[in-house]
Amino acid sequence: MNNRISKNEPEVGLVESAANEDRVLALTGATGFIGQTLLSKLREAGWRVKALYRPRTGRTLSRMDGVEWIAGNLTDQDVLDRLVDGCQAVVHCAGVVRGASREDFDRVNEEGARKIAQTAAKLTDTPRFLLVSSLAAREPELSHYAGSKWRGECALKSVSDTMSWTIIRPPAVYGPGDREMLPLFKGMANGVLTVPSGSQGRFSLIYVDDIADAIVACLSTPDTRGMTVEIDDGRDGGYDWDTMLKIGSKVLRNGKTVHRISIPLFILKSVARINLEASKILDYAPMLTPGKIKEISHSNWVSNEGKFAEITGWKPNFDLESGLACIFGQNTSKFRDR
């Protein structure tokens, strides 16, 4: 359905789309980049969804059969009680990726994870709990973001000895609606890829539909309980910047060259420090910070998938080439400067 509702209208109740649908799932982060795609995939898989959202001016919500939108945040216990009540599963997808301090990240990534896990653990019939973490949690000392994701995982594990949980660590996620990777892709469409000087790192990627499919597959597979899993698009050894140049040239430039521009690390660190201080004065959440530079320049962000695909039957459908082609199609000119 294409109808839209604003936050100023009465809250939308649960709309039954099929009489035999009895699986109910609580979802945080449903209005986010990953959450929006995941919400659609969950409905396709037959889940009824109770979706938490933060009210704000101008926010619109999709009117979807089988979805109950619940206004509130992760600090409101009454809201969390209502969110998880009657659910067979909980997916904590909400996360903060921008911030100036450790507290900015921990508020959602650690404390939010702990609070909703504690709420779920109190139920008589404890629901399955799935935490969407990040590959960055593998290196918690690098940044406030990476540390908050690792602390969120620890918080979940400490809540209950009996609750069935799974942690999924995706690498960088991209797709329609993504704002973090889009500047890099737009730069390549304009013929430029800017990277840290001397960077020889390798990294995995995953398309947003693929991570959503992985979450749905995980929910239906009991054998993933108690596991912390890393997933990616299936490319052995991940990508490096030279490979990204070639793929960007092919998909976004019709074979024309994408030039690699290396920026000395000390310049990036200086810009990051200035950006961090400016954010404190101007009160905005920065993306480019000293911690983010440490993440970008880290040498190994290649996922170790382990046996997740074998256990669940999940397979990624998009590598970077097909993912970019799906996002931009044949009309890449709109992403280039005029």
Contact in structure between 26 and 50 (CB atoms under 8 Å): yes
Question: What is the CATH classification number for the domain harbouring 136?
Answer: 3.40.50.720
Burial readout 113-148 (b: 16 or more C-beta within 10 A, e: otherwise): bbbbbbbbbeeeebbbbbbbbbbbbbbbebbbbbbb
CA distances 301 to 146, 149, 193, Å, are 12, 15, 19
Q: How many domains does the chain have?
A: 1
Residue 78 lies in a domain: yes
The amino acid at residue 327 is I
Neighbours of 257 (CB within 10 A): 10
- Closest listed residue to residue 259, CA positions, set 201, 194, 196: 194
Residue 40 forms part of a structural domain = yes
With a cut of 90, say whether residue 291 has pLDDT above it. Answer: yes
pLDDT, position 276: 94
> Does a structural domain hold residue 283?
no
Query: Would you say residue 287 lies in a domain?
Result: no
d(CA 212, CA 207): 9
pLDDT band for 21, please (50, 70, 90 cuts): low
pLDDT 10s digits, 260-273: 999 999 999 999 99
- C-alpha gyration radius of the chain: 20
Cα separation, 176 vs 174, in Å, equals 7
Q: Which residues pair with 192 in a beta bridge?
A: 259
pLDDT of 55 strictly over 50: yes
Chain segment 176-224, per-residue pLDDT in tens: 888 889 889 999 999 999 998 877 889 999 999 999 999 999 999 988 9
Helices 144-159 + 111-121 axis angle, to 10: 10
Residue 337 has pLDDT above 60, yes or no: no
Q: Given pLDDT bands bounded at 50, 70 and 90, which one contains residue 57?
A: confident
pLDDT digits (tens, 9 = 90+) for 28-47: 999 999 999 999 999 999 99
pLDDT in tens, 121-148: 999 999 999 999 999 999 999 999 999 9
In a domain, 153, yes or no: yes
H-type alpha helices, 24-123: 33-44, 77-84, 102-109, 111-121
Reported residue count of the chain is 338
Q: What average pLDDT score do residues 46-55 get?
A: 95
CA dist list (Å): 15 to 36, 43, 90, 295: 18, 12, 19, 43
Spatial separation of the C-alpha atoms in residues 251 and 239, rounded to whole Å = 16
Q: What is the arithmetic mean of pLDDT over 221-242?
A: 94
Q: What percent of the chain has pLDDT over 90?
A: 78
Whether residue 103 lies inside any domain: the answer is yes
* Nearest in space to 193 (alpha carbons), one of 247, 259, 127, 238: 259
pLDDT at 10 over 50: no
* Residue 318 within a domain: no
Residue 73 domain boundaries: 4-169
The pLDDT score that the predictor gives to residue 139 is 97
Residue 248 banded pLDDT, cuts 50, 70, 90? very high
**Whole-number pLDDT of residue 333:** 45
User: Would you state the pLDDT for residue 300?
Assistant: 95
pLDDT digits (tens, 9 = 90+) for 66-104: 999 999 999 999 999 999 999 999 999 999 999 999 999
| pLDDT computed for residue 108 by the predictor | 94
pLDDT bucket at 168, cuts 50 / 70 / 90:
very high
pLDDT, residue 206, reads 98
Task: Name the residue with higher pLDDT: 327 or 203.
Answer: 203
Give the DSSP letter of residue 126. P
* Bridge partner list, 170: none
Higher pLDDT, 311 or 19: 311
The least confident of 102-116, 137-151, 318-332 is 318-332
Give the chain's mean pLDDT: 89
